[in-house]
Amino acid sequence: MTSPHTHESYAVLQKVVQTVGMGIEGAESIRLAENDIWRLPGRVVVRIARPGQEAAAAREVVVTRWLSQRGVPAVRPLDIEQPITVDGRAATFWEELPPHRAGDSSNLAPLLRQLHGLPNRRSSSTRWIRSYESRTA
């Protein structure tokens, strides 16, 4: 039996997928919790945030794009305008990661060194986030 939360999340998923022109056939839930995570065909993952998290979702997309532009390995958002907000819930679209294993400190140390060597990103991303927030207010 499917829970009411699953039905609600799937209804939001249908709307956000339609908004960006993707299909929903074959969608499967990865995790339905504080944030609902869905896998779509074509190695796309949709993250649906809880209500009221539009600014946080926008910030996640901005930061990961900024990291990607600087060569830092991170999950990549799809190259579409996002987040998409439907029924008060922000959804973001991501490239699905290939199969992988958990890293250890020897994997993490070089990434942290790379991350801490980057210039301060605060000013440019803050402007973008304020611009996003003013469009959605």
The distance of Cα 104 from the centroid of its chain, to the nearest Å, equals 24
Give the residue from 46, 44, 43 showing the smallest Cα distance to 32: 46
What pLDDT score was predicted for residue 89?
A: 96
- Is the pLDDT confidence value at 125 over 60? no
What is the pTM (predicted TM-score) of this model?
A: 0.83
Cβ contact 112:38 at 8 Å: no
- Is the pLDDT confidence value at 127 over 70? no
- Is the pLDDT confidence value at 77 over 70? yes
Q: What is the pLDDT of residues 15-30, one digit of tens each?
A: 999 999 999 999 999 9
Residue of 129 and 49 predicted with greater confidence: 49
Cβ contact 125:59 at 8 Å: yes
At residue 121, φ and ψ (nearest 5 deg) are: -100, -5
